[in-house]
């Protein structure tokens, strides 16, 4: 009798286990949607190397131990244009505090970017993503998109819209090394 | 004579051969008194030889057309449907050699003849291949699918023989109604062939401009008198008949016109046949099916599903997926033609399970086989004509 | 729930219909039946026997073939409904409102209902996925439930069966023959010639062939499960990449979804069949349809980031040149790049003249490459043009400035400064298509002379690590169906009864006519009693007298 009872329990457990696994798989199949892994807050910011308009190479890893405010933009995008003067005002102060503003143009003609810069009197380094490599690396869809990267190299926030000057100040302060 | 002409002539020879062979199979049934004689009938053997000759010229048509065009002749409705007819005969020959049953021939060959006549209603020019079809998979995928489908179709033929034999045609019943409906449908196809051929020989043409469902202007040519007009049509051919009604843009009025003509002519044909025979068409064929052994027909029906199912899976799903991955970058895209191949596959899977585990044999199994054939024909014809998708190369 | 002990002494599991060893009917149902149900050899199918807990009930639900067929039918009907109108992914819309509008506009009320019921995205709906999941569950459970007992009982079967088993077979015959021992020896020899495995046991013969075909269904079900697993894995990031990108002629661009790879588009070609090359063969078709496309081709060069360099750096090495055409994707490192789409004739360059208005004399011409304009164009003889502003997709003036609504050169506009020996300080002019604005009256003007265009290739990038799993699933499925369908498991029992009578019975899982054919062949050479197929009432001559072979 003991043996039979055992057998019955084993059967119950194995059947329950199999059914639960199958149910879990079905639930997973229904809920899983996004196949593409998108960079999210908390992820390590992938390193890259881009040249600015003057031809100087910048690597993200050059700024290890410091905060990086990584802004992707295009000349035709009005909110991008709007926040440029704010960044211009703030970038020098914050560079001293260990936070760097890096702007990345998403592969427009170089002359177009230069005209834009001269027009707006911008002096901070503008990186030029000729082949859109870094844009794809960071899965940029809407512009402007800004990544806040803390001194440990982690993404602390992804902002997918334009910002006010005060917001930029707050964001810059949030990634300032302590 | 150039190759394309030779090719057409070979097809014509096959067509005639199948007609003649049908008569011999009929003779085999009429002339034999005992079952043994029926299976060993000289008439049957002659019928088989003629069928094989027809099949060989049919392959000749296929090969010469291939040489002429430089690609496997499986790229449009005419070529595809003709190949289906060819493989249907091929599958019949295979099963005839296995089981020696003239009754099967008496039903299989006329169906092949109807299919081939239907095929010739489509444009028959040799067309160059569009980029998506330029692949070795055109031949591999399509021919395997066609072979699978035609073997499956033989199961419907066996089912039909079984049903014609076993349904009591003297009493009113659902089964009697439906078997007659199947016969009626076959007559309708004849109706279509008759209508199209008649107007084609008359050289009828009526051109229209219209506004399509995407609100873009388009042109269309009717080859039969237009009963229904396209959305916001304007006649371009002077003196042509004025359509009765104008239809909304989502309905293709030209195809509806063809359908209506076929149904009307088919119905008249059917009534004529009924008047001559003075009984249901199925009852006319009943004596010819009587000599077939029901168990044997059941087994042929089942056997052809067993043989055809793996071939169909390979061609219509596996090869299809491999090619779809090469050409369209995805192996499965829920395109209507793909979905209907899946439906066909699911249907036969259900058929096999019902038969294996639930004991659906005999009449039930025969009906399922007939429905399976309807699904195959739907995928072959209706999906291309009604539901537009990536496969719309009609 | 105790074991059932058969008269022969064998202990059978509870629920067994026919004794696993000798075949005696054990259940009431089997005892009463004329012809026994030989599916699964009358073995005890667990699901049918234990019905205590909820888990068992769920298990039994999925184990039932009836339910399985029901699920198949449901999937079939749902799939069919999904083809009535085009599915979501074939509809040119992006928002819910647009979809709703599309279906209602084209298909009226029916279309609206179709949309509202969610049929417009049938194959991604949760309940369609649940159905597929249930199908997979049913396949797994039904197979487990059947294969084990079937295997056990086929393994335990004995050569000598009880007469009650023999008598209940579909093909059965009995009679006396003259020299039993000799006939049996002959039968054994003949059966072996027909590739049967023959076992003998004091006056009993069991000839069996193609037992492996019984495993076909379970093999093909395994194939299906492997396939399902493959499909499931596609949901895991990294297993599956599906991206699309547009790349202009002359452009070099990172390949979306394939980190570390860069593609240069060296030219897109659209070619039609020409009458000359197609000769007389395609002439008729070309006359009828107009033009038929022969090729869509993108000539590309593939580059790869050099080892150790970072994304974005120009540190690239060439991998290969390739011509991507339909049906011939570019393949590298598990990725496939397909030719999928194209756009023709986007503006590439614009050529202008600098002219003196009064004399309409040209001081020279210059060409602006819209994807890479220059700051200054020197025209010689002291004349030059400076680029002060470039608006690729000019869309009016906003906030007092020209505004470009996108980076695509759909409607380029420029602000040029014209420097001439006459006016060395320069004159400014705003130049757009069919439009020139001047702040002050200028002596010089920029006149449009010519434009060049280029094409854009639409490419799809795929990587699918699950393909091999899917292919394996397909292969296993094919092996399973062929094994199960192209062979039949046949058994012939011949034995001498207690009273000297010879009993013959036969069973096959399908194709009884072929089995009968073999039996007839056996009886031609060996004296054996006649048999009867008890499910073929139409055979009016049940005793096939030797030469009465109906199949040849």
| Residue B318 at interface with chain C, using a CB cutoff of 8 Å | yes
Residue A29, chain C, CB below 8 Å: the answer is yes
Residue C257: pLDDT band (50, 70, 90) is confident
Residue of C nearest to A136 (CA): C256
Cβ-proximal residues to B282 (8 Å cutoff; 6+ apart), any chain = B163, B164, B167, B169, B176, B179, B180, B182, B183
Strands (E), C273-334: 293-305, 316-325, 330-332
Distance, CA of B230 to chain centre: 28
Mutate to test the interface with A, among C62, C121, C312 (most CBs of A within 10 A): C312
Are residues B298 and B380 both part of a single domain?
yes
Contact of C340 with C352, CB cutoff 8 Å:
no
CATH homologous superfamily of domain A49-174? Glutaredoxin (3.40.30.10)
Arithmetic mean of pLDDT, C366-393:
89
Calpha distance C171→C490 (Å, rounded)? 12
Establish whether chain B is in contact with chain C, requiring a minimum of 3 CB pairs below 8 angstroms.
yes
Q: Where are the alpha helices (DSSP H) in chain B?
A: 3-31, 35-40, 42-69, 77-99, 102-119, 137-166, 174-202, 253-277, 281-290, 294-312, 320-328, 336-358, 363-377, 383-385
C-alpha distances in Å from residue B339, one per residue of A28, B324, B332, C177: 24, 13, 9, 60
pLDDT of residue B14: 95
From CA C298, how far away is CA A144, in angstroms rounded?
Answer: 32
Contacts for B62 with CB less than 8 Å, ≥ 6 apart: B73, B83, B86
Tell me the pTM. 0.87
Of the candidates A28, A48, A119, which has its C-beta nearest C310's C-beta? A48
Q: What is the pLDDT of residues A131-169, one digit of tens each?
A: 899 998 898 888 899 999 999 989 999 998 889 999 999
Mark yes or no for CB contact B131/C481 under 8 Å.
no
- B207 inside domain: yes
User: B323: nearest CA in chain C?
Assistant: C327
> Which chain C residues are closer than 8 Å to B320 by Cβ?
none
Cross-chain Cβ contact B128/C280 below 8 Å: no
Both tokens assigned to A76: 């035709």
Question: C66 vs B313: CB contact, 8 Å cut-off?
Answer: no
Side-chain half-sphere CA neighbours of B27 within 13 A: 14
As a whole number, mean pLDDT of residues B96-110 equals: 88
| Residues B237 and B374 reside in one and the same domain | no
Cβ–Cβ gap A115/C126 under 8 Å:
no
Residue C312 and residue A133 in contact, taking contact as beta carbons nearer than 8 Å: yes
User: Per-domain residue ranges for chain A?
Assistant: 1-33, 49-174
**Token pair of C532 as six digits:** 């009867």
Is A touching B (3+ C-beta pairs, cut-off 8 A)? Answer: no
Q: How far apart are the C-alpha atoms of C361 and C354, rounded to whole Å?
A: 8
Q: Do C140 and A32 touch (CB under 8 A)?
A: no
- Position B151 pLDDT exceeds 90: yes
Q: Which helix (H) or strand (E) holds A13?
A: helix A2-31
The rounded Cα C147 to chain-centroid distance in angstroms is 28
Pairing relation of β-strands C293-305 and C261-272? Answer: antiparallel
Residue C14, pLDDT > 50, answer yes
d(CA C436, CA C368): 17
Establish if A96 touches chain C: CB-CB under 8 angstroms: no
pLDDT tens column, C163-182: 888 888 889 988 888 888 88
N-to-C CA span, chain B = 28
Q: Which of B303, B339, B356 has its CB closest to that of C511?
A: B303
Q: Indicate whether B11 pLDDT > 90.
A: yes
Which of B214, B238, B259 corresponds to the end of one domain? B259
The per-residue pLDDT for range B71-82, each reduced to its tens digit, is 899 988 899 999
Which residues in chain C (242-281) have CB-CB distances under 8 A to chain A? 242-243, 252-254, 256-257, 259, 262
Query: Chain C contact for A16, CB < 8 A?
Result: yes
Pairing of strands C4-5, C11-12: antiparallel
Give the pLDDT score at C30.
80
Domain end call among B259, B279, B303: B259
Structure tokens at C118: 């969610």
Q: Which of C328, C481, C512 sits opposite B313 (nearest CB)?
A: C481
- Give CA angle at C502 (C498, C506), nearest 5°: 120
pLDDT band at B290 (very low <50, low <70, confident <90, very high): confident
CB-count exposure of residue B241 (10 Å: 0-12, 13-18, 19+): middle
Number of H helices, E strands in chain A: 5, 7
pLDDT digits (tens, 9 = 90+) for C81-137: 998 888 888 888 888 888 888 888 888 888 899 999 989 888 888 889 999 999 999
Q: What is the DSSP string of B211-265?
A: E-TTS-EEEEEESS--SEEPTT-EE-STTPPPPSEE--TTS-HHHHHHHHHHHHH
Cβ contact B313–C538 (<8 Å): no
Mean pLDDT of chain B: 87
Residue with tokens 């190479």: A57
- DSSP H helices, C117-162, are 126-156
* Residue B150 shares a structural domain with residue B213: no
On average, the pLDDT of chain C sits at: 86
Examine the pLDDT at B366 and tell me if it is beyond 90: yes
Cβ–Cβ below 8 Å for B321 and C510: no
Residues within 8 A of C (CB atoms), B 243-262 only: 248-250
- Nearest residue of chain B to residue C273 (CA atoms): B128
Q: At C50, is the pLDDT very low, low, confident or very high (cuts 50, 70, 90)? A: low
Residues 6+ apart with CB under 8 A from C132: A29, C75, C228
Residues B103 and B30 in one domain: yes
Instruction: Enumerate the residues of chain C whose CB falls inside 8 A of the CB of residue B343.
Output: 76, 79-80
Q: Is residue A36 less than 8 Å (CB to CB) from chain C?
A: yes
Cβ-defined contact of C407 to A75 (cutoff 8 Å): yes
Query: How confident is the model over B326-365, as pLDDT tens digits?
Result: 888 888 888 888 999 999 999 999 999 998 877 788 889 9
Instruction: Give me the domain span that covers residue B216.
Output: 202-259
Q: Is A115 on the interface with C (CB under 8 A)?
A: yes
Q: pLDDT confidence of C540, banded at 50, 70, 90?
A: very low
> Between B and C, how many CB-CB pairs are < 8 A?
163
> Which of A1, A11, A13, A15 should one mutate to test binding to chain C, selecting the residue with the greatest count of C CBs within 10 A?
A15
Q: What would the pLDDT profile of C259-296 be if each residue is shown by its tens digit?
A: 889 999 999 999 888 877 766 677 777 777 778 888 99
Report yes or no: C403 and C396 within 8 Å, Cβ to Cβ: yes
Number of domains forming the structure of chain B: 2
What integer pLDDT is reported at residue A64 of this predicted model? 87
Tell me, yes or no, whether B11 and B57 share the same domain: yes
Cβ of B310 within 8 Å of Cβ of C340? The answer is: no
What pLDDT is recorded for position C176? 83
> Is the Cβ pair C390, A18 closer than 8 Å?
no
Instruction: State the chains in contact with C (3 or more Cβ–Cβ pairs under 8 Å).
Output: A, B
pLDDT at B55: 96
Q: Please indicate, yes or no, if residue B186 is contained in any of the structural domains.
A: no
Architecture of the domain spanning C159-209+488-552: 2-Layer Sandwich (3.30)
Q: Region C242-259: what's the mean pLDDT?
A: 89
Nearest-CA neighbor of B249 among B232, B227, B226? B232
Using a CB–CB cutoff of 8 Å, tell me whether B357 touches chain C: yes
Q: Could you report the predicted ipTM of this complex, rounded to two decimals?
A: 0.89
In terms of domains, do B221 and B333 share one? no
| Residue of chain B whose Cα is closest to the Cα of C296 | B131
Average pLDDT over residues B98-108: 87
Closest approach of B2 to chain C, Cα-based (Å): 9
- Assess A120–C contact: CB distance below 8 Å, yes or no: no
Whether B12 contacts chain C with CB within 8 A = no
Inform me whether the pLDDT recorded for C475 exceeds 60. yes
Output A58-63 pairs: Cβ under 8 A, ≥24 positions apart.
A58/A102, A58/A125, A58/A127, A59/C310, A60/A102, A60/A149, A60/A153, A61/A153, A63/A100, A63/A102
């Amino acid at each position: 009798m003991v043996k039979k009872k055992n057998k019955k329990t084993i059967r119950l457990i194995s059947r329950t286990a199999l059914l639960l696994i199958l149910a879990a798989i079905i639930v997973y199949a229904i809920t899983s949607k996004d196949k593409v892994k998108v960079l999210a807050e908390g992820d390590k910011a992938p390193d890259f190397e881009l040249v600015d308009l003057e031809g100087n190479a910048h690597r993200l890893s050059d700024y290890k131990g410091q905060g990086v405010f990584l802004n992707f933009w295009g000349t035709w995008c009005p909110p991008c244009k709007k926040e440029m003067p704010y960044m211009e005002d703030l970038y020098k102060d914050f560079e001293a505090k260990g936070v760097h503003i890096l702007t990345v143009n998403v592969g427009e003609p170089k002359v177009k970017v230069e005209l834009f810069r001269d027009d707006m009197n911008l002096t901070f380094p503008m990186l030029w993503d000729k082949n859109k490599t870094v844009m794809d690396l960071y899965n940029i869809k809407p512009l402007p998109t800004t990544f806040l990267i803390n001194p440990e190299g982690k993404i602390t926030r992804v902002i997918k819209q334009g910002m006010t000057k005060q917001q930029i100040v707050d964001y810059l302060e949030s990634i300032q090394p302590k | 004579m150039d190759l394309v002409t030779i090719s057409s002539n070979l097809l014509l020879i096959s067509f005639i051969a199948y007609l003649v062979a049908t008569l011999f199979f009929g003779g085999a049934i009429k002339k034999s008194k005992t079952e043994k004689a029926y299976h060993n009938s000289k008439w049957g053997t002659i019928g088989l030889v003629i069928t094989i000759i027809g099949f060989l010229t049919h392959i000749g048509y296929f090969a010469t057309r291939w040489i002429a065009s430089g690609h496997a002749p499986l790229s449009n409705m005419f070529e595809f449907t003709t190949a289906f007819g060819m493989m249907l005969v091929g599958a019949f020959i295979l099963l005839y050699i296995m089981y020696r049953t003239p009754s099967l021939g008496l039903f299989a060959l006329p169906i092949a003849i109807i299919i081939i006549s239907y095929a010739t209603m489509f444009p028959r020019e040799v067309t160059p291949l569009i980029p998506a079809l330029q692949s070795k998979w055109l031949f591999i995928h399509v021919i395997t699918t066609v072979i699978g489908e035609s073997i499956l179709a033989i199961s419907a033929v066996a089912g039909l023989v079984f049903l014609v034999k076993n349904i009591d045609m003297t009493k009113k019943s659902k089964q009697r109604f439906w078997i007659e409906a199947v016969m009626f449908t076959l007559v309708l196809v004849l109706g279509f062939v008759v209508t199209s051929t008649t107007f084609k020989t008359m050289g009828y043409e009526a051109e229209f401009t219209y506004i399509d469902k995407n609100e873009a202007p388009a042109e269309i040519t009717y080859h039969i008198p237009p009963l229904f007009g396209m959305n916001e049509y304007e006649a371009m051919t002077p003196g042509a008949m004025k359509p009765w009604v104008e239809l909304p843009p989502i309905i293709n009025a030209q195809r509806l016109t063809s359908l209506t003509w076929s149904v009307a002519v088919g119905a008249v044909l059917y009534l004529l046949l009924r008047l001559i025979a003075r009984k249901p068409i199925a009852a006319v064929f009943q004596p010819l099916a009587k000599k077939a052994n029901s168990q044997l027909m059941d087994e042929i029906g089942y056997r052809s599903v067993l043989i055809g199912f793996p071939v169909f899976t390979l061609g219509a799903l596996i090869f299809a997926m491999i090619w779809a991955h090469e050409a369209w970058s995805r192996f499965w895209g829920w395109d209507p033609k793909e979905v209907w191949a899946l439906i066909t596959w699911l249907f036969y899977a259900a058929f096999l399970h019902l038969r294996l585990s639930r004991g659906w044999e005999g009449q039930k199994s025969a009906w399922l086989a007939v429905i399976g054939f309807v699904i195959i024909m739907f995928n072959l014809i209706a999906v291309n004509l009604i539901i537009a998708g990536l496969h719309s190369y009609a | 729930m105790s074991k059932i002990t058969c008269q022969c002494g064998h202990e059978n599991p509870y629920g067994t219909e026919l004794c696993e060893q000798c075949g005696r009917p054990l259940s009431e149902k089997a005892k009463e039946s004329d012809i026994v149900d030989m599916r699964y050899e009358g073995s005890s199918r667990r699901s049918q026997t234990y019905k205590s807990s909820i888990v068992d009930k769920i298990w039994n639900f999925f184990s039932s073939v009836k339910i399985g067929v029901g699920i198949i039918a449901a999937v079939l009907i749902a799939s069919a409904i999904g083809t009535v109108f085009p599915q979501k992914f074939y509809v040119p819309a992006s928002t819910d409102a647009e979809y709703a509008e599309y279906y209602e506009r084209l298909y009226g009320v029916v279309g609206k209902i179709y949309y509202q019921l969610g049929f417009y995205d049938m194959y991604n709906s949760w309940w369609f996925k649940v159905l597929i999941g249930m199908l997979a569950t049913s396949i797994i459970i039904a197979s487990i439930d059947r294969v084990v007992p079937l295997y056990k009982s086929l393994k335990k079967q004995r050569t000598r069966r009880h007469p009650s088993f023999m008598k209940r077979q579909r093909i059965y015959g009995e009679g006396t023959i003259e020299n039993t021992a000799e006939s049996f020896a002959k039968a054994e020899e003949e059966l072996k010639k027909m590739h049967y495995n023959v076992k003998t046991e004091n006056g009993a013969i069991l000839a069996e062939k193609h037992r492996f075909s019984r495993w076909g269904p379970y093999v093909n079900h395994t194939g299906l499960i492997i396939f399902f697993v493959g499909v499931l894995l596609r949901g895991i990031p990294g297993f599956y990449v599906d991206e699309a990108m547009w790349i202009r002629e002359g452009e070099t661009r990172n390949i979306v979804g394939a980190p570390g790879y860069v593609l240069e588009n060296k030219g897109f070609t659209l070619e039609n069949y020409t009458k000359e090359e197609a000769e007389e063969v395609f002439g008729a078709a070309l006359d009828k349809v107009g033009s038929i496309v022969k090729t869509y081709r993108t000539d590309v060069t593939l580059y790869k980031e050099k080892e150790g360099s970072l994304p974005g750096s120009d540190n690239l090495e060439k991998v290969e040149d390739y011509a991507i055409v339909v049906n011939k994707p570019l393949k590298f490192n598990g990725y496939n790049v397909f030719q999928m789409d194209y756009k023709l004739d986007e503006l590439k360059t614009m050529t202008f003249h600098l002219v003196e208005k009064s004399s309409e004399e040209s001081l020279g011409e210059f060409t602006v490459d819209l994807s890479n304009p220059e700051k200054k164009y020197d025209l010689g003889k002291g004349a030059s043009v400076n680029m002060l502003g470039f608006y690729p997709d000019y869309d009016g003036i906003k906030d007092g400035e020209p505004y470009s609504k996108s980076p695509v050169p759909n409607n380029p506009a420029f602000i040029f400064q014209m420097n001439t020996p006459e006016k060395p300080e320069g004159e400014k002019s705003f130049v757009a298509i069919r439009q020139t604005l001047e702040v002050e009256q200028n002596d010089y003007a920029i006149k449009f002379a010519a434009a060049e265009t280029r094409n854009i290739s639409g490419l799809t990038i795929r990587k699918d690590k699950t393909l091999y799993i899917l292919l394996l699933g397909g292969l296993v499925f094919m092996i399973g169906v062929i094994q199960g369908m192209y062979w039949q498991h046949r058994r012939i029992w011949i034995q001498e009864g207690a009273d000297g009578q010879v009993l013959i019975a036969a069973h096959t899982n399908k194709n009884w006519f072929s089995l009968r054919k073999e039996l007839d062949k056996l009886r031609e050479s060996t004296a054996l009693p006649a048999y009867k197929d008890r499910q073929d009432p139409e055979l009016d001559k049940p005793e096939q007298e030797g030469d009465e072979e109906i199949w040849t």
